[in-house]
Amino acid sequence: MPDDLVARYSRPVPRYTSYPTAPHFHAGVTNDIYRDWLAALPGETGLSLYVHVPFCDRLCWFCGCHTKQVLRYDPIAAYLPAVHKEIGTVSGLLDGRGRAVALHLGGGSPSMLAPDDLLALAARVRAMFAIDGGFEFSIEIDPNDMTPDRYDGFAAAGVTRISVGLQDFDPRVQAAINRLQTFEQTRDVVDGMRARGVRSANLDVLYGLPHQTVATVERTVEQALDMRPDRIALFGYAHVPWMKTHQRLIEEAALPSPQERLEQSVAAAERIVAAGYVPIGIDHFALPSDGLAQAAASGGLHRNFQGYTTDAAPALLGFGASSIGGLPQGHVQNVTATGDYMRRIAAGGLAVARGIAFSGDDRLRAFTIERLMCDFAVSFDELRARFGAMAEPVVAELRDYADNDGDELLVPTLAGVSVSVRGRPFVRAIAARFDAYLERGAARHSVAV
């Protein structure tokens, strides 16, 4: 890949797990508006549930999540009743409408939850929502948290998918990001949960970390493949120290250049595909038998705040501090500070701090960006079928870009436009061309490669 091409298209842009993106949320979306949006959901709406557990027992310096380090369990125990109450409030506002198709626990480190607390949380969800027959329950796991009672407790709670962050197994890289974790620890988690009936395991691998090279990334990928996960997520490290001040502990001089990041990403992807995995979007891979691969093949792949997913639920309900939800009318986000969240929930059952209501143009551009990110293509007929005459300005933008792109990243097709193989590493930058908000604000983002 030419260096000048990488330099031009590696400018900071959003990851587009939502549109409009979170920097454009505002305080005009309130608890009352959220109540109205929930009340308007049709009775059979699919509900995807997300619970944020914003605690870790150590702070990984690469982390971009809303979380805090705790050395005792007391803050977690004090936090969980507020989550239970918020779940009850939202359930009451839905008044029996909707069916839950998925539950995801993210963090932080939700694997810090004591088994009894995880069981109680799962029971609360099942008591408050009608549960779909194909219900999936996924949880993010830090292998350093795992104990024998947690293995058994997670299985008893009904967990169906685990996601394990391994980042990089190279000791020098691990020391540079404050995430010490052996291959054996990670393998034991995957094997232990599979032995207890968990159907699917995902592993997260990072590139672009300090001191990483193509060789270290390839070694880590080979070790990950030894565990034969159902899915692999290959994420580029997002260095945003202006947002996450703990990232200032990372030595910037040790970070790979954009060209080196691209080389690491390409080498890792080639190894994963050679092992029989199907590439999904910009950073996921799945075994051909996995639902994610099947969704990508059938045009049913989606993208939300958890990344690529088969989850097509029209409503994503977020619970916990800083959690984000998405409804047909717009996005909502809870207040970030855990103390403030707990006080607001105690006072009124909800803790919305900001959000954004969708315009017709927002929905059109959100769909366009999602299809670029998921399918690397956009059909003009599908845009027109969904959005009618409103689609024409974006159709014109897509056509103009493809017809006049001297770098041949986005090219015209008989059906519409398609991202070329050359353009796929830069699809975030391509999607950004259709982001009506990007030039309006002063938000800063991670590099696009």
What is the model's pLDDT at position 294?
Answer: 96
Contact 294, 286 (CB under 8 A): no
What is the model's pLDDT at position 13?
Answer: 87
Which of 307, 204, 331, 213 lies closest to 264 in space, CA to CA?
213
Q: What's the average model confidence in pLDDT over 234-242? A: 86
Indicate whether 441 pLDDT > 60: no
105-116 burial code (b ≥16 CB/10 A, e <16): bbbbbbbbbbbe
pLDDT above 70 as % of the chain = 97
What is the model's pLDDT at position 438?
Answer: 87
Domains (range + CATH), the chain: 24-357 (3.80.30.20), 360-432 (1.10.10.920)
Q: Is residue 393 within a helix (H) or strand (E), and if so which, with residue range?
A: helix 392-404
Structure tokens at 416: 């519409």
* Cα-to-chain-centroid distance, residue 256: 23
Contact 141, 178 (CB under 8 A): no
343-356 burial code (b ≥16 CB/10 A, e <16): ebbeeebbbbbbbb
H-only helix segments in 109-213: 115-128, 148-156, 171-177, 183-195
Within 10 Å of residue 276's Cβ, how many Cβ atoms? 11
What is the model's pLDDT at position 310?
Answer: 93
- Render pLDDT for 111-147 as a digit per residue (tens, 0 to 9): 999 999 999 999 999 999 999 999 999 999 999 999 9
Indicate whether 445 pLDDT > 90: no
Q: What whole-number distance in Å separates Cα of residue 281 and Cα of residue 70?
A: 35
Phi and psi (nearest 5°) for 387?
A: -120, 0
Mean pLDDT of the chain: 93
Confidence of residue 347 (pLDDT cuts 50, 70, 90): very high
What is the model's pLDDT at position 2?
Answer: 64
Which of 82, 30, 28, 20 lies closest to 51 in space, CA to CA?
82
Q: What whole-number distance in Å separates Cα of residue 322 and Cα of residue 332?
A: 10
Higher per-residue pLDDT: 156 or 440: 156
Q: What's the average model confidence in pLDDT over 376-393? A: 98
**DSSP string for residues in 233-256:** EEEEP---TTT-GGGGGS-GGGSP
Q: What's the average model confidence in pLDDT over 345-368? A: 98
Contact 410, 420 (CB under 8 A): yes
Q: What whole-number distance in Å separates Cα of residue 415 and Cα of residue 38?
A: 37
What is the model's pLDDT at position 348?
Answer: 95
Contact 350, 367 (CB under 8 A): no
All residues at 6 or more sequence positions from 112 whose CB lies less than 8 Å from its CB, including other chains: 53, 55, 56, 57, 73, 76, 142, 145
Q: What's the average model confidence in pLDDT over 410-433? A: 95
Q: What whole-number distance in Å separates Cα of residue 45 and Cα of residue 54?
A: 28
- Render pLDDT for 147-205 as a digit per residue (tens, 0 to 9): 999 999 999 999 999 999 989 999 999 999 988 999 999 999 999 999 999 989 999 99
Indicate whether 296 pLDDT > 80: yes
End-to-end CA distance of the chain: 12
pTM (predicted TM-score):
0.92
What is the model's pLDDT at position 271?
Answer: 98
Confidence of residue 11 (pLDDT cuts 50, 70, 90): confident
215-240 burial code (b ≥16 CB/10 A, e <16): ebbeebbebbbebebbbbbbbbbbbe
What is the model's pLDDT at position 443?
Answer: 53
